[in-house]
Amino acid sequence: MLSTMQDVPLTVTRILVHGTLVHGDSKITTWTGTGEPQRRTFRETGLRAVQLANALRDELGVRRDDRVATLMWNNAEHVEAYLAIPAMGAILHTLNLRLPAEQLVWITKHAADRVVLVNGSLLPLLAPLLPGMESVEHVVVVGPGDTSLLDGCAPAVHEYESLIGDRPTTYDWPELDEREAAAMCYTSGTTGDPKGVLFSHRSIYLHSMQVNMAESMALTTSDTTLPVVPMFHVNAWGIPHAAFMSGINLLMPDRFLQPGPLAEMIEAERPTHAAAVPTIWQGLLGELTARPRDISSLASVVIGGSACPPALMEAYDKLGVRVCHAWGMTETSPLGSLAQTPPGLTPEQEWPYRISQGRFPAGVEARLAGPDGEFMPWDGEAAGELEVRGPWIAGAYYGGAGADPFRPEDKFSPDGWLRTGDVGTITPDGYLTLTDRAKDVIKSGGEWISSVELENHLMAHPEVAEAAVVAVPDDKWGERPLATVVLKEGSSATYESLRAFLAGRIAHWQLPERWAIIPAVPKTSVGKFDKKVIRKDYADGKLDVTKLS
């Protein structure tokens, strides 16, 4: 028996229309670095999104299923593209501007992008790549920039404001199937070529609802959120679409992502919520230590992308800013879990929950696969590789122009669950604690050592700025940990003192024998520790390694 409910597709179009009409007075503030920030209401943003859709269709010939790429910072115009492109039936493809040049060219060709919207400040990055981007027919320049760089390398160049300025503010939006693709992102390609993930209208709508829930980010019209996480990184964790659904004000940092400008904009614009990877918050903490600012407006920040060191969480607690840990990946849209704590607990009782990766929301099913294929119990102790499924979880990767989706066996189980590559435990009430990436676990003498646990302990040392631990070959034990550390300026810490500091926190057999001081931990395009670089530098003899007895 079928229900009597109306069958209304869950689409980005409805998010656009809702935000424009119901939350029209909410604002998008874009930081400019000098002078007054740019301010635009949701109503103005929605109408400009309509004008953009008209321009893309009538002037540039964009049609249903065409891929329109963006190479842009977090700003109001990027939000307009987030809304207009999917609503007209095309596919928004956010390009990660921090990827190597050859990967950007490969991704653009693989996606068959027809149009690229680019901030003028990024033209020096785009111009040399355009000759290799064979599918691109139009470049739309947003904001000031040296367009002469495009001479001879771009088939057609348009200025954004001129392109949309005289367009109608109405559009006959197509009635889309909610399962159609709305946006696409590519993984960072840390192993092999990047892989394309196509998000459906339905997955974006449901994910946006989850982002807004009280046990998630709890975005409301009385708040302002600062999404420092880039809009090219898994749709800024879903915040732009969720904002147009909830009406929360947006403070967009544009290209001003350095600690100094972030501290300045927080003090000036008073956001109540923010989201970014740990490295951003570590940098901001250093800035606030050196030059104190008033960031008391920040009630909560979400940290994801990689594990948040507990010491960093404690430091922000002292500033009155509550850190909420989250876990996710490109394939999970990305919200997979978020560490809101159960009610009625003391701060000491809350701590184990806060430093976990959090609880799975409704819509994300999880299981732990053991080394022999068995599934492990949710007892908070048995560890296995995390597998997930749900309405905003990828079931395949984009196969390229005209190709079928593909499902690599190392990424998907035979029954269709996503294999995350993360190893961890789950408590009986659904809190996830990740102990490591499967590829980063140190397998020493038949036992596992968590590189993440060692890193967190090292970064709790008062003289350590950053630390990364990797497995290196060992004749006796198979693998042993190599600890690479970045010392704070003026530090007098020695390897022996760092090892003694660890000795009171972990089992003796887990203590690293091999140590190296490095100027900075290498990072991926989205700010995660890039351990493959450290492993290669060690193998190539580029690290000055000291071995303690």
Q: In this structure, what are the phi and psi dihedrals at residue 70, rounded to the nearest 5 degrees?
A: -125, 135
Q: Are 56 and 62 in contact (CB under 8 A)?
A: yes
> What does the alpha-carbon distance between residue 515 and residue 462 come to, in Å, rounded to a whole number?
18
Query: Collapsing DSSP states into helix, strand and coil, what is residue 285?
Result: helix
Tell me, yes or no, if 448 is annotated catalytic: yes
Predicted confidence band at 524 (pLDDT cuts at 50, 70, 90)? confident
How high is the pLDDT of residue 453? 85
* Backbone dihedral angles phi then psi of residue 114, each to the nearest 5 degrees: -95, -30
Query: Domain spans of the chain?
Result: 7-200, 440-547
Collapsing DSSP to helix, strand or coil, 512 comes out as coil
- Strand arrangement, sheet containing 514-517: 464-474, 478-487, 514-517, 546-547
Catalytic residue, chosen from 287, 331, 387, 466, is 331
Active-site entry in 187, 341, 425, 524: 187
494 assigned to active site = no
pLDDT of 450 > 90? The answer is: no
Structure confidence by residue, pLDDT tens digits, 109-126: 999 999 999 999 999 999
- Token readout for 189 is 């390609």
Tokens of 225: 């959120």
Instruction: Please name the residue that has the structure tokens 């940990």.
Output: 481
Rounded distance, CA 531 to CA 505, Å? 23
Q: According to the model, what pLDDT value does residue 452 have?
A: 85
Round to whole Å and give the CA distance between 26 and 42. Answer: 5
At residue 482, φ and ψ (nearest 5 deg) are: -110, 120
**Angle 336-356-486 (CA atoms, 0-180°, nearest 5)?**
105
On the question of pLDDT at 345 being above 80, the answer is: yes
pLDDT score for 206? 98
Quote the DSSP letter at residue 488.
Answer: P
With a CB cutoff of 8 Å and minimum separation 6, the contacts of 427 are 356, 378, 379, 380, 433
Which pLDDT belongs to residue 191?
Answer: 52
Active site residue 392: no
Which tens digit of pLDDT belongs to each residue from 326-335? 999 999 999 9
The correct CATH number of 440-547 out of 3.90.45.10, 3.40.1000.10, 1.10.260.30, 3.30.300.30 is: 3.30.300.30
From the list 443, 488, 536, 547, the catalytic residue is 443
Concatenated DSSP letters of 127-183:
GGGGGG-TT--EEEEESS--GGGGTTT-S-EEEHHHHHTTS-S--------TTSEEE
Helix, strand, coil shares of the chain as percentages rounded to 5?
30, 25, 45
Pick the catalytic residue: 59, 448, 453, 477? Answer: 448
**Nearest CA to 134 among 160, 159, 153, 158?**
153
Q: For the whole model, what pTM was predicted? A: 0.86
CA dihedral 39, 41, 45, 50 (to 10 degrees): -140
Q: Would you say the CATH fold of 440-547 matches that of 7-200? A: no
Q: CA–CA separation, 520 vs 275, rounded Å?
A: 23
The chain-wide mean pLDDT, for the chain, equals 94
Burial (CB < 10 A; 0-12, 13-18, 19+), residue 311, is: middle
CATH (residue range 7-200): 3.40.50.12780
Confidence category of residue 189, pLDDT binned at 50, 70, 90 = low
Active site residue 331: yes
Confidence band (pLDDT; 50, 70, 90) for 171? very high
